[in-house]
Amino acid sequence: MNWWGGSFFWRTLAVLVVALVASQAASFWIFRQQVQQPRMGMAIGHFVSHLKTIHAALNTLPPGAEREFLERLAEREGIRVFPARGEMPGRPAGDRPGMHMFRERLKALFGEDTEVFVRPGSPGEFWVRLRAGPREFWVAFPRNRVDRDPGDALLYWMLAGVAIAIAATGLIAWRLTRPLARVAQAAEHLGRGGDPAPVPETGPSEVRAVARAFNRMKESLKDEERERTTFLAGISHDLRTPLARLRLDVEMLEGRVEAATQSGMVADIEDMNAIIDQFIDYARSEAAEAFSAGDLSAIARDCAAKAARAGAPVTCELAELPALMLRPLAVRRLVDNLIQNAVKHGGGEIVVRTAREGKDATLAVLDRGPGIPAGEIKRLKAPFTRRDDARSGRSGAGLGLAIVSRIAKAHGARFDLAPREGGGLAATVAFPLGE
C-alpha cells in the first residue's frame, strides 16, 4: 500500500509522528549524554570514595571500634560488612553502562581481581569482596547506590509523550481534514448529478475559504442548470404548437398530395417531436427525484413491454435481483433510451437482459446492428453527437446515449458500449449492489 499517496489526514499524521519520534529520540540521547551519564559518574565516584573509607577503616580500626563502625554503617547507610568465609560469590553483575563504570573504578582502586556480584536470594543487593590486610570481607550494599540508570523510566516517559503527542496530532489533523473530506464528498455527490447540502464553513481560514468557494460554485452551477432547463423547456414548448398545426395541416392534405409524400411529412414531424422529447429529457434534472428501493428487472420488463406494444422486436432475459436504491423514473428513461437507440440503429431482435455479476446488477440491451467502432464510443456518449455512417436509420438529436450516461452517473453506475458476440452492440449499465 502506498501510504504516501493516501489521504491528506494519514500523510499529515505520518509526517508529524515521524517528526515527534525523531525529536523524542534526540532528546533521549542528549539527556543520556549530557545529564544522565555525568550524574551517574558523580554518584559512582562518591560511593567508591565511601568504599575507600570503609576499606581504610577495616585496615586501621581496633576490633571494638570496628564493630561499632560497622553497626552504625549498616544502620545509617544500609551497607553490611562481614567476614568472608569462602562463600560462593554468586554470579557477576551485569554490564550496564553504570555498572561498567563502577567496576572499572573498583578495579583501579582495589585491584584487577575485584568483582561485583549478585548473590542468590538477594537480588536487590550488590556484593563486593574487599581485602584488608590478611582478612577478607564481603561488603553488601543496595544496588541503587550505583545502578541508578533511569533508562527504562526515561524510555517509558518518552513513549508516553509520543503517545500523547500522537493523540493530540491526530485530533488536530482530523479537525483540519474533516472539512476537506466534507468538501470532497460534496464534490463527488455533485459530480454524480446530485444536489448536496451546503458544506459547513468551519475550520481554519484557508479551509473555510475552500468551503465557501465550493458553496458558491455549487450555487452557480445550479443557477446555470435552472437557466438551461428553462431555456430548453421553453423552446421545446414553443415548438410543440407549430408542430401540432403542421401535423393537422398534413392530415388535411389527404387526397391532395401523394400518399408517400404525406407519409414522409408525417414521419418528419414525428421525428421532430421525438427530438423535442429528447431535449426535455436531457433538460430534466434527476436530482429532483428521490431515491427509493426498486426492482431493476421489473422496470426493464415494463419498458420492454411498452416498446413491444409499439411494434419493436423486443424480448427479455431477466434475473431475480435484490432491491436497489434507484430513481425509478430516471431509470425508466435510461431503459427507454437504450431500447429506442437499439430500435433506431440496430437490426433484428432486441434483447433486454438483467443479471447479477459479482458486486453489480447489470442491465444490458443487445441488438444486431452494425455496432460502433471502439474509437467512437467515448465521443458518442457526449450530448449532440451522432454517427450516421456507423449506424443505420434515422438520426435524432444525438442525446439518447448522453441521457443514459448522465442517469447512470447519477446512480454511481458504469455505462459501457461493446461489440456483441455474433455481431451487433451490447449497451450495459452496471449498478453497484452496495453490499
**pLDDT interval class at 366 (50, 70, 90):** very high
Rounded to an integer, the average pLDDT of 180-207 is 79
Question: What is the pTM (predicted TM-score) of this model?
Answer: 0.49
pLDDT tens-digit profile of 77-86?
888 887 877 6
- Give CA–CA dist 168/178, Å, rounded: 15
Q: State the residue for C-alpha cell 553502562.
A: 97
pLDDT tens-digit readout, 293-320 = 999 999 999 999 999 998 889 999 999 9
Query: Which residues 6+ apart lie within 8 Å of 155 measured at CB?
Result: 28
Distance in angstroms (rounded) separating the CA atoms of residues 69 and 154: 38
Residue 358 has pLDDT above 80, yes or no: yes
pLDDT band (50, 70, 90) for residue 431: very high
Q: What is the mean pLDDT of residues 368-391?
A: 67
- Residue 153: predicted pLDDT: 64
Whether 343 and 365 have beta carbons less than 8 Å apart is answered as: no
C-beta neighbour count of 141 within 10 angstroms: 22
Q: Which residues contact 30 (CB under 8 A, 6 or more apart)?
A: none
Instruction: Return the bridge partners of 139, or none.
Output: 81, 128
Please report the pLDDT score of residue 130 as a whole number: 81
Q: At 138, phi and psi to the nearest 5?
A: -95, 130
Higher pLDDT, 90 or 64: 64
Which of 386, 411, 267 shows the shortest CA–CA distance to 326? Answer: 411
Give the pLDDT confidence score for residue 424 in this predicted structure. 86
Which residue has better confidence, 146 or 8? 146
**Angle in degrees, CA 20, 21, 22, rounded to 5:** 90
Are 362 and 429 within 8 A, CB to CB? yes
Contact in structure between 313 and 326 (CB atoms under 8 Å): no
Contacts of 358 by beta carbon, 8 Å cutoff, 6+ apart: none
Q: Given the C-alpha cell 516517559, which residue does it identify?
A: 157
> Between 240 and 121, whose confidence is greater?
240
pLDDT for 392 equals: 42
The top-scoring range by mean pLDDT among 118-127, 289-298, 384-393 is 289-298
Percentage of the residues of the chain whose pLDDT score is greater than 90: 13
d(CA 225, CA 343): 31
Which pLDDT belongs to residue 299?
93
Q: What is the DSSP string of 406-433?
A: HHHHHTT-EEEEEEPTTSSEEEEEEEE-
The answer to whether the beta carbons of residues 297 and 321 sit under 8 Å apart is: yes
Q: Taking Cα atoms as reference points, which of 73, 127, 81 lies closest to residue 103?
A: 127
User: Do the beta carbons of residue 327 and residue 397 sit within 8 Å?
Assistant: no
pLDDT at 5: 39
Query: Between 97 and 364, where is the model more confident?
Result: 364
Q: Residues 313-335: pLDDT tens digits?
A: 999 999 999 999 998 888 998 99
Instruction: Quote the CA–CA distance of 423 and 369 in Å, as a whole number.
Output: 7
Q: Which domains does the chain have, with CATH numbers?
A: 3-149 (3.30.450.300), 188-287 (1.10.287.130), 289-432 (3.30.565.10)
Whether the pLDDT of residue 367 is over 80: the answer is yes
